[in-house]
C-alpha cells in the first residue's frame, strides 16, 4: 500500500476498535482494495474488483464494509442523476466536485477556489455556515460529441 492508503487503513482499524467492531480478514481485504482503487465505483463494480482478489467475499460483506468506511469518514458516497450510488476514497483536503458525461458516464473531478468561496459567501448571505455541498455538473463530453457528428 502507498503511504496514503496505509494511513487510511490504520484509521479504519482505529475506527473499528473504537466502536468495538470486529475487523475480520475479509473486511481488511475490502478496505485495502478500496483505498488502493482510484475513481468512483458503484457497489457492483467494486464488488467485481474484490471478487478477483478473493472470490469468497460476498457482495453483502462488501456493501457493509463500504458503509463502515463511510461512517469512519474514509469513503464518500456520491449520487449522480442516474440514481446509482458510487463510492470514492475520502482524503483530507481533497474536496472536489464532479462533471458527469450523460452519454458515456465519464466522471471528471473539478476544483475551483472561486466556486468554493462563492458558495461560502452565498451561505453567509443566508446566515449559514456551510459544512459541505454537493455540486455536480452534467453534460456531454468532447469524445461523445465527436462521435455524434460521425454518426
Min separation Cβ 111 and Zn ion, Å: 10
Shortest Cβ 1–Zn ion spacing (Å): 20
Question: From the CB of 105, what's the least distance to Zn ion, in Å?
Answer: 7
Give the whole-angstrom CA distance, residue 108 versus residue 20: 37
Find the angle CA(69)-CA(43)-CA(99) to the nearest 5 degrees: 90
Question: CA 45 to CA 53: how far, in whole Å?
Answer: 13
Report the residue number, 25 or 135, with the smaller CB distance to Zn ion: 135
* Residue among 28 and 91 whose Cβ is closer to Zn ion: 91
- The label of the residue with cell 479504519 reads 12
Query: Is 51 or 80 the residue whose CB approaches Zn ion more closely?
Result: 80
Q: Which residues bind Zn ion (CB under 5 A)?
A: 88, 101, 103-104, 106, 109, 141, 144
* 141, 106 contact by CB (below 8 A): yes
**Reading across the β-sheet that carries 75-79, which strands appear in turn?**
41-42, 85-89, 75-79
CA 78 to chain CA centroid, nearest Å: 6
Distance CA 29, CA 97 (A): 28
Closest approach, Cβ 36 to Zn ion, in A, equals 16
- Specify the residue, 44 or 109, whose C-beta has the smaller distance to Zn ion: 109
Amino acid at each position: 500500500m502507498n503511504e496514503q492508503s496505509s494511513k487510511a487503513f490504520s484509521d479504519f482499524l482505529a475506527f473499528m476498535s473504537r466502536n468495538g467492531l470486529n475487523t475480520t480478514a475479509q473486511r481488511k481485504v475490502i478496505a485495502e482494495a478500496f483505498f488502493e482503487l482510484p475513481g468512483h465505483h458503484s457497489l457492483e463494480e467494486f464488488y467485481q474488483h474484490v471478487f478477483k482478489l478473493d472470490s469468497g467475499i460476498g457482495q453483502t460483506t462488501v456493501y457493509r464494509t463500504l458503509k463502515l468506511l463511510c461512517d469512519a469518514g474514509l469513503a464518500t458516497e456520491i449520487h449522480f442523476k442516474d440514481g446509482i450510488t458510487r463510492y470514492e476514497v475520502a482524503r483530507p483536503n481533497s474536496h472536489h466536485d464532479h462533471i458527469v458525461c450523460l452519454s458515456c458516464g465519464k466522471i471528471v473531478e473539478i476544483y475551483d477556489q472561486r466556486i468554493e468561496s462563492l458558495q461560502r459567501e452565498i451561505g453567509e448571505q443566508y446566515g449559514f455556515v456551510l459544512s459541505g455541498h454537493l455540486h455536480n455538473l452534467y453534460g456531454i463530453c468532447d469524445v461523445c460529441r465527436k462521435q455524434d457528428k460521425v454518426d
